[in-house]
Amino acid sequence: MLSNANFQALRVLDLESSVKLRNCYLQNICHLFQLRYLRIAASSITRLPEQIGELQFLETLDLRHTWIRKLPGSIVKLHRLIFLLVNGSQLLDGVGNMQFLEELSGISMYNECTKKLVKRDPDSRTHSKLISSS
């Protein structure tokens, strides 16, 4: 779907589709190294590529309008992520160590990682300032 040669300097990507966007179209998204903001609004999307963690400058990841229930393990490599907005996704170990994360919204409260994160000191700089669950 995306030719990374034409979009290497892209900083904001807002993908919205009712049916045409497919999981396989997101494979090259990881080559957009300058990306700061990524919003995917397509109910047909059920997973992200594992390489999503290579987007080292990503600050906002908005997946609220997808059917992604399990985030890839590499998500914890997004050290500059400030906003992680999901729709019932389970958290992974390591999300609580993401130092810049300020808002975590739409998480599933039914796994141990989420329960541990919510129980921690809310004033700690290494944990989210706002946690909202679904």
Q: What percent of the chain has pLDDT over 70?
A: 75
How far is the C-alpha of 42 from the C-alpha of 33, rounded, in Å?
Answer: 22
- Find the mean pLDDT for residues 90-118: 75
Domains within the chain, CATH numbers bracketed:
12-133 (3.80.10.10)
Residue 57: its pLDDT value, please? Answer: 97
| Distances, alpha carbon 113 to alpha carbons 9, 49, 83, 107, in Å | 35, 21, 18, 11
pTM score, whole prediction: 0.81
